[in-house]
Amino acid sequence: MKVSYFPGCTLKTKAKDLDAYARKCAEILGITLEEIENWQCCGGVFTTARDEIATKLSSVRALNDAKEKNQALVSVCSACHNVLKQTNYAMQTDEEFASRANNYMQLDEAYLGETQVLHYLELLRDVVGFDKVAEKVVNPLKGKKIAAYYGCLLLRPNSVMKMDDPENPTIIEDLIRALGAEAVIYPYRNECCGGYVALENPDSAKEKSLKVTNSAKNAEADIILTACPLCKYNLEKNGADIPVVYFTELMAEAFGIKEDCNA
């Protein structure tokens, strides 16, 4: 099965391994990630200002690209996914926004949010199935206590993301269990890491990050698992003393292909 793939800037720079593991694991699962051509930065954050349109056009272009290929659009980074899904939702529901965006785009056929946007985790759960993921595990991660860290962007706003319950999610825990490890539930798993506040007010970001790390440690986790490069950056920079790992890396480890990816 082929899907369109939007890696995003960070996966080409700081988070190259998130990208590499994602591609390899997809291959194992029989999914081809076709990177869309000439993609541009998603814009970083979805601005809620309704008249702000420039930063959302690159998302519209990517979405339309997937539409033309009749493929779902998959991304891994929490922030890219958030912007893509919210932009797509705006194209579906906000007539004024959609007509303005289409005026800029000058497409042959107007784009009105037809593309299905999937996070890589949703691809695993809803398209592949966690049971199929479990079948591919050659190196079960037995005995590892893993704390899924959702952060704030992955699941919110729930009315648009429609991915999992934002206060009591299970999607990453279900993946962890499929890989043979033990999922640790802790209170701060869906709180913000500090995000871009790290630039403006590093102390505040540090406080937020430490709360997450400590909460996971109190629950006796060995590893924190994330999908978001910014979360990983903030947690590590602010003194996380347990490993913060991308979910794709853990999956590669369980599939026994981690070394191939590094090579």
Partner 1 sequence: MQRIGVFVCWCGSNIAGTVDVQAVSEALKNEPGVVFSTNYQYMCSQAGQELIINSVKEHNLTGIVVCSCSPRMHEATFRKTAAAAGINPYMVEIANIREQCSWIHKDMEIGTEKAIILGKAAIAKVNLNAPLTPGESPVTKRALVIGGGIAGIQTALDIAEAGFPVDIVETKPTIGGKMAQIDKTFPTLDCAACILTPKMVDVAQNDKIRIFSYSEVEDVKGFVGNFDVKIKKKARYVKEDICTGCGVCTEKCPMKKVPNEFNLGMDNRRAIYIPFAQAVPKVATIDPNACNMLKSGKCGLCAKVCTAGAIDYTQKDEIIEEKYGAIVAATGFNPISMDKFDEYAYNQSKDVITSLEFERLTNAAGPTAGKLLRPSDGKHPHKIVFVQCVGSRCESCAEKGKEYCSKICCMYTAKHAMLTRDKYPDTEVYVFYIDVRTPGKAFDEFYRRAVEEYNVHYIKGMVGKISPEGDKLMVRGSDLLNNKQLTIDADLVVLAAAIEPDKSARPLATMLTASMDTNDFFTEAHPKLRPVESPTAGVFLSGACQGPKDIPETVSQASAAAAKVIGLLAKDKLTGNPCVAQANELMCNGCSSCEKVCPYGAITYVDKEFRMPNRTTAIRRVASVNPAVCQGCGACTVACPSGAMDLNGFLNKQIIAEVDAICK
User: Which span sits near partner 1 by CB under 8 A: 113-121, 131-139, 157-165, 231-239?
Assistant: 157-165
159 binds partner 1 (CB under 8 A): yes
User: Which span sits near partner 1 by CB under 8 A: 56-64, 89-97, 124-132, 163-171?
Assistant: 163-171
Report whether 178 contacts 131 (CB < 8 A). Answer: yes
37 binds partner 1 (CB under 8 A): no
165 binds partner 1 (CB under 8 A): yes
Q: How far is CA 51 from the centre of its chain?
A: 26
Q: How far is CA 54 from the centre of its chain?
A: 23
Residue whose token pair is 């076709």: 34
CA distance 258 to 138: 12
Compare residues 28 and 210 and give the one whose CB is closer to partner 1: 210
Compare residues 167 and 259 and give the one whose CB is closer to partner 1: 167
Largest CA distance in the chain: 56
* Burial of residue 244 (number of CB atoms within 10 Å: 0-12, 13-18, 19+): buried
Instruction: Please identify which residue in 37, 131, 167, 241 interacts with partner 1, judged by CB under 8 A.
Output: 167
* Burial of residue 123 (number of CB atoms within 10 Å: 0-12, 13-18, 19+): buried
Compare residues 99 and 218 and give the one whose CB is closer to partner 1: 218
Binding to partner 1 (CB under 8 A) within 203-262 occurs at 215, 218
Binding to partner 1 (CB under 8 A) within 175-194 occurs at 185-188, 191
Give min distance, CB of 215 to partner 1, in A: 6
Compare residues 21 and 89 and give the one whose CB is closer to partner 1: 89
Amino acid of residue 261: C
10 binds partner 1 (CB under 8 A): no
Give min distance, CB of 29 to partner 1, in A: 30
Report whether 3 contacts 123 (CB < 8 A). Answer: yes
In sequence order, the 6+-apart residues with CB closer than 8 A to the CB of 178 are 130, 131, 133, 134, 137
Give min distance, CB of 4 to partner 1, in A: 29
Residue count, binding to partner 1 (CB under 8 A) = 12
User: Could you list the residues that contact partner 1 (CB under 8 A)?
Assistant: 158-159, 165, 167-168, 185-188, 191, 215, 218
